Amino acid sequence: MDIKNLAASLVLLVTGLSFGLTSFFGMDVGSALRMGPGYFPLVLSILITGIGLAVGLKAVTVSVPFHPQYAPVRSIVAIIAAPILFGMTIRGLGFVPAVLLTAISAAMAAKGQRPHIAAVIALAITAFCLAVFYYGLGLPVRLFGPWIGV
């Protein structure tokens, strides 16, 4: 078993099949002469699914040890949360709180980072972004949004 490539094959099969089935059943495929919106995606999906099968078949026949190295779950969550937090708060809370939250979340991703250090880093980043993007480049955003009544 080659776990890594088995997982790779799974990614390809899921992508290929979901896009393929959507193109085949949900769209007009048309003909080679008059290609519908579904034609090209269907061809690509078949290719992806085919490669997924090939990679998967090869993966079950060989034996490869698998020792993956991952970033700590805390880091992954903190990093991914950062842009999502920004997206959720930029309209409502405004630029300053949104950048602050994003930076705090990201700063907490470092291994063993303590909250007060993260807060200091985030404050510095926010001040920097305010200077560069708002005052320097004139980004058209509200500094504080309607949620905090400003």
Partner 1 sequence: MDFISNLALGLSAALTPYNILFCFVGTLLGTLVGVLPGIGPTATIAMLLPITLSLSPETSLIMLAGIYYGAQYGGSTTAILINLPGESSSAVTALDGYQMARQGRAGPALAAAALSSFFAGTIATVFVAALAPPLTKIALQFGSPEYFALMVLGLAASVVLASGSVLKTIAMVSMGLIFGLVGTDINTGAMRFTLGRAELADGLNFVAVAVGIFGIAEILRNLEVTVQRIAVVKRVAGLWPSREDLKTIFAPACRGTALGSALGVLPGGGAILASFASYALEKKISKTPERFGKGAIEGVAGPEAANNAGAQTSFIPMLTLGVPANPVMALMIGAMIIQGIVPGPQVATSQPVLFWGLIASMWIGNFLLVVLNLPLIGLWVRLLTVPYAVLFPAILAFASIGVYSVNSNTFDLYVMAAFGVFGYVLAKLEFEPAPMLLGFVLGPLLEEHLRRAMTISHGDPMVFVNRPISATLLVVAMAVLAIAFIPDIAKRRKEVFVEED
Cβ nearer to partner 1, comparing 114 with 150: 114
d(CA 116, CA 104) in angstroms, rounded, equals: 10
Q: Is 91 in the site for partner 1 (CB under 8 A)?
A: yes
Within residues 113-132, the interface with partner 1 by CB under 8 A covers: 113, 117-118, 121-122, 124-126, 128-129
Q: Is 24 in the site for partner 1 (CB under 8 A)?
A: no
d(CA 46, CA 19) in angstroms, rounded, equals: 9
Residue 51 φ/ψ region, left for φ over 0, alpha for ψ in the -120 to 50 degree band, beta for the rest: alpha
**For the purposes of burial, counting CB atoms within 10 Å of the CB of 141, is it exposed (0-12), middle (13-18) or buried (19 or more)?**
middle
Cβ nearer to partner 1, comparing 68 with 149: 68
Within residues 34-53, the interface with partner 1 by CB under 8 A covers: 34-38, 40-41, 44-45, 47-48, 51-52
